[in-house]
Amino acid sequence: MRVMGEKVGLTVRALVLGFVLMAVTPGGLPAAALEVEHRLEIELMPPAHMLAGRDVLQIRVDDRRKLVFALSERAAQLRVEVDGKPRMFKFTNSELEVPLEPDERQRIVEVVIGYEASFNDPVPVTPLNTDNPGFGVTASITPTGTFLLAGAGWYSDLVDGRESFPLLRVKAPEGILAVTSGLGLGHTTRDGATFSEWRIDNPLRGLALSAAAYVVQEKRVGAVVAATYFLPRNQDLSAVYIDAIAAHLELYSGMFGPYPFPKFAVVENFFPTGYGFSSYTLMGSTILRLPFILNTSLGHEIAHCWWGNGVFVDYEHGNWSEGLTTYVSDYLYKERESAPAAKDYRLQALRNFSTLVPPAKDFPLARFIGRLDTTTKAVGYDKGMLVFHMLRKVIGDEAFWGALRDVYRERLFQPTAWDDLRRAFEQRSQRSLKAFFDQWVNRKGAPRIHLADVRRDRAAGGWKVTGRLAQEKPFFHAEFELALVGDGLDVSRRVDLSGESTSFEVAAASEPAQIVVDPDYDMLRRLDQSEIPPTVNALKSSASSLLVVCEAAAGGGQKVADTLAASLGLGNYAIVSEAQVDRNRFKGQDVILVGYPRTVEWLSTIPASLHLQRDGFSLGGVRGSNVGEILFGVFTNPYDPGRVLAVLLPADSPDAANVAAKITHYGRFSYLIFRDGQNRDKGSWEPADSPVLHRWK
C-alpha cells in the first residue's frame, strides 16, 4: 500500500503516473507556488455516476497573467467568476485557464468555479492480477461507493498552488458518508441527504475522496483521532484496528517526531485495493480481513504519513519514499522480531531484485517514480530498502536515525529529493556520501561477485585461507564481509572490492569448513542463478511462457490455464495441449504443466522430497489428499536450465481454477499446497550451490 495524492499524477498502491503541470512566468522560469484556500462543495449523485462541484478559492496572486487549474476533461457546465463577476476562460486537455486583469495581480482574488462531471471507471470486483493494484481506476461514483483519486480532476486543482481546504462539504444520498484527508467536522443528515464536512489545514499535493455507507468508530490517541470507516459487515474489526493505529503512531512518533496530522483513519473501499493518503489509508474489504495486515501493511501506510505524505517527494528527481518506508516498516518489523527474520527479509529482497529485474529492464533508483509492475516494484521497494540498509551500515545507527529526524523536522510538507537526503546523512555522519549515492542511487545495476582461487593451508598457529573476490563487468566499488566457518570457528573480515578482483588472506586458529561472502545478505548484489530457487516470481517475470494442458486435466484444464496466465500477468504466452508438445518446445521459455503429464521425463528436475502422481502428491513423506488438496510447484526446466517448469495438480479438481487465481500472491515461494481452496503450506527449495560459498570436503 503506497503513498497517494501527489500533484505529479495519480499515486496508488501502485503509482499511476501523470504529468507535472507547472505555471511559468513570462520570463520562462517556474513561478513560485501560490497560496490558495478552497471552500469546496461537492454533491454526489451515485445513480447517475455524477458529481456537481462549486469551488470558492482565495488565491494570493503574484504578477502572472493567468491562473491554470487541472480539471477533468469530463467536466461540463463550467462557470467561472473572479471577484464576483463572470470571467471568460479556456478549457482544453484538462487545463482550465483563467486570465487575470492587471489590477488583480499582487493581491488576493476570489475565484469561483462551478462544474458537473461524470466519473464511471470500470471497477474490478475479483481481479486476477494485482501487480498494479490501481487497475486503471482513477475515479468512479457508484451506488456501492465513491472513489476519487487525487489527480483525477474531480476538483479544480490550482497548478503550482500550495493548497489547503478550510472547508470541504460533501452532500450525498442519505446514509452515505464521505471521508478524506484532514480533520472531520461531522456528518449530519437532513432532507434526505447526508452532509460530511472536513477541514484540511496542512499543505497538500492533491486530494482524494471516498464515500460509502460507513459506520464510524473513533478514539483519541493523545492529540490524534484514530478512526475506522467500515461498512457494517466489518464493524467487528474496528477495535483491533484502532488499537493497532495507536501502537504504530506511538512507534513512529518516537522514532521521527510528532505525527503531522489530526487523525489517522482506516477506510474500507468497495473494491479490492490498498492505498495510502495523507492521514488515512483505503483498503478493500477482503484486505481488511487478512490476518497479517495489522502488523505489516497498516504500519507501512502510517509510516507514509512521515515519509511521502509528510515530507513530500520531489518526483522530478525520483521517489525515495517507497524504499525508505519499506525499510522503516516491513523490514524493521522483521528486525525487531529476530536477526534470522531480518536476514531472511534481506535475502528475499535480493532474490526479488535478481529475479524480477532482468538487466535489459533495469534502471537507476533515481528514476523510480512508482510501482506499475513487478520490475518497478523490485527496484523502488526491494532495491530501495537495501540501499537504505547499506547506508545505515556505512554511517551507523546514530547518524542514520538522527538524519531521518533532521529531515522530518526541517522538510515537513516540502518537496524533497535524494540529494536532500544525502546532505542530511552527510551532516550527521560528517563524511561525504557522494560516491555512495552516485553508485547505488544514480547508477543502475548491482555487482555480480564470485570467489576465485580459494585454498586453505596450514600455517604457524593454525590455518591460512587465501583467494580472490572477483566481479563481472560493469565493476562496482563495495566492501563485503568474508566469513570463515568451522567447528568452534567464527572469523570474519572486510574485503574492499574495486575493479576486477581483490585478493584476500585470512588466518584461522582451527580448520575452516567453508568460506562465505556476505553471509548476512547486507549488500545489494545480483544473485547468481544457483542462489535463487525456482519460484512463482520467475513466472511473473517470464519473457515467454508455454502452458501445457495435460490429458489428465480433463475438460477444465483450459479454464485453469487461462486463469493462470491472467493472474501471473503473463505477456507473451501460448496455451497448447499435451499432444502438441515435445521436448524442443521447452527450450527458450518457461513452462507450466496444467495436470500430470504422460511424459514423466518432463518432471526429472523435481526434488527428491517431492513425489508426484496423476491424482495426488507427497512432500517430505506427507501424502496430499486426493480430494481437496492441490499442489503448485516450480522447478528447473529440464531442457533449459536457465528457465523454469511449473506444475499444477490435480488440475481436474473443482477448486483448481480458484487456486490458479491465488498463486500470483505467493511470488517468493517454490511450492504451494492448497486445501479446499485455501493455502495450508508453502516453502522454497534449498539452493544447491553459490559462487560466493566455498566448502572444503
What is the pLDDT confidence band of residue 135, given thresholds at 50, 70 and 90? low
Please tell me whether residues 563 and 665 are part of one structural domain.
yes
Instruction: Please indicate whether residue 1 or residue 686 has the higher confidence score (pLDDT).
Output: 686
Does 690 map to a domain? no
Find the radius of gyration of the CA atoms of the chain.
28
Q: Grid coordinates representing 488?
A: 568452534
Residue 476: pLDDT over 50? yes
Q: What amino acid is encoded at 407 in this protein? A: V
CA–CA separation, 601 vs 592, rounded Å? Answer: 15
CA–CA separation, 247 vs 14, rounded Å? Answer: 26
Average pLDDT estimate for 212-236: 96
β-strands 671-675, 644-649 pairing = unpaired
Please tell me whether residues 519 and 544 are part of one structural domain.
no
What is the pLDDT confidence band of residue 114, given thresholds at 50, 70 and 90? very high
Residue 552's CATH number? 3.30.379
User: What integer pLDDT is reported at residue 125 of this predicted model?
Assistant: 61
Cα 684 to Cα 547, 599, 635: the distances in Å are 22, 25, 10
Q: Grid coordinates representing 478?
A: 563495495
CA–CA separation, 310 vs 573, rounded Å? Answer: 43
User: What integer pLDDT is reported at residue 621 of this predicted model?
Assistant: 61
Per the structure, how many domains does the chain have? Answer: 4
Please tell me whether residues 373 and 515 are part of one structural domain.
no
User: What integer pLDDT is reported at residue 137 of this predicted model?
Assistant: 85
Kindly report whether the peptide bond that precedes residue 687 is cis, defined as omega within 30 degrees of 0: no
Strand partners, 671: 633, 683
Please tell me whether residues 459 and 419 are part of one structural domain.
no
Residue 139's CATH number? 2.60.40.1730
Does 694 map to a domain? no
Last residue of a domain, one of 285, 303, 321: 303
Question: How confident is the model over 51-99, as pLDDT tens digits?
Answer: 999 999 999 999 999 999 999 999 999 999 999 999 999 999 999 999 9
Please tell me whether residues 299 and 370 are part of one structural domain.
no
Average pLDDT estimate for 226-248: 97
Burial class (CB in 10 A: 0-12, 13-18, 19+), 423: middle
Does 697 map to a domain? no
Please tell me whether residues 268 and 359 are part of one structural domain.
no
User: What integer pLDDT is reported at residue 17 of this predicted model?
Assistant: 27
Please tell me whether residues 404 and 422 are part of one structural domain.
yes
What is the pLDDT confidence band of residue 127, given thresholds at 50, 70 and 90? low
Give CA torsion, residues 389, 390, 391, 393, to 10 deg: 90
Last residue of a domain, one of 472, 499, 527: 527
Last residue of a domain, one of 440, 465, 481: 440
Strand partners, 459: 462
User: What integer pLDDT is reported at residue 615 of this predicted model?
Assistant: 75
The residues, ordered by sequence, that sit 6+ positions from 271 with a Cβ below 8 Å of its Cβ are 123, 124, 125, 135, 137, 145, 147, 284
Does 328 map to a domain? yes
What is the pLDDT confidence band of residue 541, given thresholds at 50, 70 and 90? confident
Q: Which of 212, 206, 207 is nearest to 228 (CA)?
A: 212
Q: Which of 655, 605, 603, 664 is nearest to 626 (CA)?
A: 655
The residues, ordered by sequence, that sit 6+ positions from 139 with a Cβ below 8 Å of its Cβ are 72, 119, 121, 147, 148, 149, 152, 153, 154
**Quick one: DSSP state of residue 641?**
T
Question: How confident is the model over 155-166, as pLDDT tens digits?
Answer: 999 998 989 999
Average pLDDT estimate for 166-175: 98
**Quick one: DSSP state of residue 331?**
I
Does 179 map to a domain? yes
Does 589 map to a domain? yes
User: What integer pLDDT is reported at residue 10 of this predicted model?
Assistant: 34
Question: How confident is the model over 594-649, as pLDDT tens digits?
Answer: 999 999 999 999 998 899 988 788 887 666 555 568 999 999 999 998 899 999 99
Mean pLDDT of the chain: 90
Question: How confident is the model over 6-47, as pLDDT tens digits?
Answer: 333 333 333 322 222 223 333 333 456 899 999 999 999 999
Residue 453's CATH number? 2.60.40
Q: Are 456 and 696 in contact (CB under 8 A)?
A: yes
Find the domain containing 383 and state its range: 312-440
Please tell me whether residues 497 and 561 are part of one structural domain.
no
Question: How confident is the model over 426-471, as pLDDT tens digits?
Answer: 999 999 999 999 999 999 999 999 999 999 999 988 999 999 999 9
Please tell me whether residues 469 and 428 are part of one structural domain.
no
Q: Grid coordinates representing 161?
A: 498552488
**Quick one: DSSP state of residue 380?**
I
Q: Which of 436, 504, 422 is nearest to 470 (CA)?
A: 504
Average pLDDT estimate for 202-228: 94
User: What integer pLDDT is reported at residue 511 of this predicted model?
Assistant: 93
β-strands 263-269, 224-230 pairing = parallel
User: What integer pLDDT is reported at residue 20 of this predicted model?
Assistant: 27
Average pLDDT estimate for 178-203: 96
Please tell me whether residues 92 and 214 are part of one structural domain.
yes
User: What integer pLDDT is reported at residue 23 of this predicted model?
Assistant: 31
Residue 325's CATH number? 1.10.390.10
Residue 415: pLDDT over 50? yes
The residues, ordered by sequence, that sit 6+ positions from 206 with a Cβ below 8 Å of its Cβ are 4, 5, 6, 7, 150, 151, 157
Question: How confident is the model over 264-274, as pLDDT tens digits?
Answer: 999 999 988 88
Please tell me whether residues 381 and 507 are part of one structural domain.
no
β-strands 644-649, 590-594 pairing = parallel
The secondary element (H helix, E strand) that includes residue 394 is helix 384-395
Q: Are 55 and 185 in contact (CB under 8 A)?
A: no
Does 695 map to a domain? no
Does 168 map to a domain? yes
User: What integer pLDDT is reported at residue 628 of this predicted model?
Assistant: 66
Average pLDDT estimate for 365-392: 96
Whether the predicted model's global pTM rises above the 0.75 cut: yes
Average pLDDT estimate for 322-348: 97
User: What integer pLDDT is reported at residue 15 of this predicted model?
Assistant: 33
What is the pLDDT confidence band of residue 3, given thresholds at 50, 70 and 90? very low
CA–CA separation, 381 vs 370, rounded Å? Answer: 9
Please tell me whether residues 181 and 66 are part of one structural domain.
yes
